[in-house]
Amino acid sequence: MAEAKRKKQPKVTAEQARADIAAARARLSGDVREVVDEVHPRRIVQRQVEDAKSAARVELEAAKSQIKDADGWRWDRIALIGGAVGGLVAFVLVIRRLTRKR
């Protein structure tokens, strides 16, 4: 029976075995490089910085779209923001005045 199993398997030449080993080595080398790239601290930091920059760009564009659109400045929004800032300044000044030591 052992002879029957050996006869069914194709014969591999030394060159084919070397080629298979070289191909496996190349695949493993690529996999190792990918793993190192994935877990290396500098790459992790670099990816986090890129993600943060991307998120900041998206938020900046969203904020810009609130006060400026294709037709130009949205003065109603600008007035609303100005009023909110003015109210905040007035609130802070009143609180400072009330809490100031006499």
Quickly count: other Cβ atoms within 10 Å of residue 67's Cβ.
Answer: 14
pLDDT in tens, 39-93: 999 999 999 999 999 999 999 999 888 888 888 989 999 999 999 999 999 999 9
Distance of alpha carbon 64 from alpha carbon 28, whole angstroms: 48
Distance of alpha carbon 35 from alpha carbon 40, whole angstroms: 8
Q: Is 11 exposed, middle or buried (0-12, 13-18, 19+ CB in 10 A)?
A: exposed
Query: Which range has the top average pLDDT, 5-19, 20-34, 81-95?
Result: 81-95
Average pLDDT over all residues of the chain:
88
pTM summary value: 0.49
* pLDDT score at 88: 98
Looking at this protein, which amino acid is placed at residue 69? Answer: D
Query: Could you please report the per-residue DSSP string of 31-75?
Result: HHHHHHHHH-HHHHHHHHHHHHHHHHHHHHHHHHHHHEETTEE-H
Whether the pLDDT of residue 1 is over 60: the answer is no
Report the relative pairing of strands 72-73 and 68-69 from DSSP bridges. Answer: antiparallel
* pLDDT score at 30: 83
Whether the pLDDT of residue 15 is over 60: the answer is yes
Quickly count: other Cβ atoms within 10 Å of residue 77's Cβ.
Answer: 13
